[in-house]
């Protein structure tokens, strides 16, 4: 499976997640938490859990790499095993609350390195609204696939 086909498979499930989660935002929760770990757990974790559910329905498996610990950004890392055997690493990075990026690359055994040969970097919006974050991921992947 080509890297572009892998990204397209992710996008199919992501669109389902986005359609399912469209809900009004509680405007009392617009302020970002001061603690980046709360943001990573409450917002990113929620979005990735929901996306993971839709990926599973398509025959894929998304799991957080719990051995990964980045004390600077506090953002998580995931492994995506696509049906058919291809594997991709998904890493969130940036400096909270200023920046957030999603790096997607072909997986390398050991989880200590990333492939630059087949990689995508998607800039994301730092927000408490899961709908905006999903839209940001979806739009970024679409733009990457167009290029």
Of 139, 121, 129, nearest to 44 by C-alpha is: 129
The model's pLDDT over 50-81, given as tens digits with 9 standing for 90+, comes to 999 999 999 999 999 988 877 777 899 999 99
Q: Is residue 138 part of a domain?
A: yes
Q: Is residue 26 part of a domain?
A: no
* Predicted local distance difference test score (pLDDT) of residue 99: 94
Q: Is residue 28 part of a domain?
A: no
Please give the model's pTM, rounded to 2 decimal places: 0.81
Q: State both tokens at 87.
A: 């594997």
Which structural domain range is residue 72 located in? 3-21+34-146
The model's pLDDT over 76-135, given as tens digits with 9 standing for 90+, comes to 999 999 998 889 999 999 999 999 999 999 877 655 555 566 789 999 999 988 888 999
* Structural domain count of the chain: 1
Of 75, 50, 74, nearest to 62 by C-alpha is: 50
Q: Is residue 53 part of a domain?
A: yes
């Amino acid at each position: 499976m080509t890297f572009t086909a892998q990204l397209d498979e992710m996008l199919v499930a992501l669109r389902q997640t986005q359609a399912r989660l469209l809900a009004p935002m509680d405007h009392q929760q617009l302020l970002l938490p001061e603690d980046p770990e709360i943001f990573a757990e409450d917002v990113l974790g929620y979005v990735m859990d929901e996306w993971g559910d839709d990926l599973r329905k398509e025959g894929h498996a998304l799991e957080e790499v719990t051995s990964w610990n980045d004390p600077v950004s506090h953002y998580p890392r995931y492994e995506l095993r696509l049906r058919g055997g291809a594997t991709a690493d998904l890493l969130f990075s940036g400096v909270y609350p200023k920046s957030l990026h999603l790096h997607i690359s072909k997986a390398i055994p050991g989880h200590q390195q990333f492939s630059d040969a087949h990689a995508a970097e998607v800039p994301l919006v730092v927000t408490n609204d899961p709908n905006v974050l999903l839209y940001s991921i979806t739009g970024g992947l679409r733009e990457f696939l167009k290029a």
